[in-house]
Structure 1
Amino acid sequence: MKKTSEHHNLLAQLQQVADGLGKTLAPFCEVVLHDLTEPDHAILAIHNNLSGRSVGEPATELGLARAADPGVDQVIANYPNTFPDGRLAKSTSVGIKDSDGRYVAALCLNVDLTVFRSLNTMLTQFGSVDRAAAVNDTLQPTGAEAIRLRIDDFAARHGTTPRALKTDERRALMGELKDSGLSDVRRAMDIVAAYLNVSRATVYNDAR
């Protein structure tokens, strides 16, 4: 496909987008810009190189499919992929069309899942406790965790976070805590105030 001035402009702008995404998502996500007007030398830019490819290498099978068929989905998100060395990846490919509806470029994101899976394993191990241990101790006031769990549940049901609750929502929350008996827990108002990041006076006012 012969490049037009429109194609040159699109590719120039996409190089800036790829550069910005690469810097933002480093080092866990590879960002690759493909020039589909030259499928045999498609890779125009590659940031956070995780696949070992180089600028000037050919397009992938998906890129070739797009170059041949404008009907291929423009956004294919979160599909399983594999790096050349066997590492698992999660990929998203965004096709870019010109004013005639033909694919001229593709912006691809490849996330290295092995890093996150290893991190998840370490965090799970670090956060595990021996529930068979005979010691029964707490560093928090009795009932504090129950109050926090109830607040988390309330916030989730309202599609927000505890610290983002509005005045009317906090009042409804205090009503639920009262009805459940949790407002009678020792230092309940202090616990609620700290968790919501508001003053004790605000909590007392909301509880009226």
Structure 2
Amino acid sequence: MSVGETSVEAERDAVIAALAPVIDGIAATFGPVCEVVLHDYRRPEQSVVAIAGSVTGRAVGGAMSEIGMRIVARGEEAADELNYVTRTRTGQTLKSSTMVLRDSTGAVFGALCVNLDVTTLTEAHTVLGALTGIGRPPAELPVTTFGNDIDSVVDVILDDHHLRQDRAWAGLDRAARLELFRSLDERGVFAVRRSVEQVAGRLGISRASAYSYLSQARAATEAPPDPTDPTDSTDSTDSSGGHA
């Protein structure tokens, strides 16, 4: 590690150390419905370095959520995501903000996240709307997975894709397979160590095939292939009789 890199790492450490005590004050201001999480994305599998409050059930040493994975995937293009509303797998309605942390070079290395459990407020709003006759049907909220284990977060993302595709890997054509890997990459799945192996195992394909599909998906995103080109080198890397 060069002197410059050492200096940037020290700067990042200093930012994390300075923010760690701040999260307690933020959580105390909003009360028991608030959770504040400090993430260090340099270790995505254990990105939670400090937490105040308990809304998502995570602890120090826990993994980033799907939102964090998406931010890591966007790299320098990542931006703050403020006042978004999601639903947890357990049915809680959360109003959240994720503010990215950058070093002096502009690189994103972490995030400060605030999660407010507004489930009760949302239910009260629905009841009041029904009583006054001006209520609207609640909009379907996106579901966000939070967990201490990064593998479980990746598994949920894969399950979500499977439900939407409604087809097994063997039933997908080449375009659909590449789209699956492109979507997983866009959601930050492959920013996590061992995720390629995990995805390969879930899909029942070889690791080499998974890397090949990922490489081609990224290349296709940068420069879409000629649809008249009959070559399909990906399928030649599959090593399990069409189920790779």
CA distance in 1, matches of 2:77, 2:22: 24
| Separation in 2, partners of 1:98, 1:70 | 11
2-side partners of 1:9 and 1:30: how far apart? 22
Residue in 2 that maps onto 1:24: 29
The structure with higher relative contact order (CA 8 Å, sep 6+) is: 2
Which residue is equivalent to 1:42? 47
2:59 maps to amino acid: S
In the alignment, is residue 90 of structure 1 matched against residue 95 of structure 2? yes
- Residue 61 of structure 1 corresponds to which residue in structure 2? 66
Q: CA deviation at 1:91?
A: 1.2
**Higher mean displacement: 75-84 or 95-104:** 75-84
**Which TM-score applies when normalising by structure 1?**
0.53
Residue aligning to 1:9: 14
Shift of 1:35: 0.8
2:105 corresponds to 1:116: no
State the Cα distance separating 1:115 from its structure 2 match: 2.0
In structure 2, the residue corresponding to 1:27 is in which secondary structure?
helix
CA–CA distance in 2 between the matches of 1:104 and 1:40? Answer: 14
**C-alpha distance in structure 1 between counterparts of 2:76 and 2:54, whole Å:** 28
- Give % identity: 32
Which secondary structure state, in structure 1, belongs to the residue aligned with residue 38 of structure 2?
strand
Q: List per-residue Cα deviations over 1:127-167 (Å, max 9, x = no partner).
A: 98xxxxxxxxxxxxxxxxxxxxxxxxxxxxxxxxxxxxxxx
1:80-131 CA distance string (max 9 Å, x none):
2122311111111000100111112101111112121345467x49x98xxx
For 1:46, what is the secondary structure of its paired residue? strand
Alpha-carbon separation, structure 2, partners of 1:15 and 1:22: 12
Distance 1:121 1:58 in 2: 33
Count of residue pairs the alignment pairs up: 125
Q: Which amino acid aligns with 2:58?
A: R
Structure 2 residue 76 is the aligned partner of structure 1 residue 70: yes
Tell me if structure 1 keeps the 8 A contact 2:93–2:119. Answer: yes
Cα RMSD, aligned residues only: 2.5
Match of 1:99 in 2: 104
Q: Deviation per CA, 1:33-65, whole angstroms, max 9, x where unpaired?
A: 111111110011221111111211111222223
Structure 1 segments (4+ residues) deviating >3 Å: 118-122
Please give the alpha-carbon distance, in whole angstroms, between the structure 2 residues aligned to 1:52 and 1:61.
Answer: 15
Letter in 2 for 1:14: L
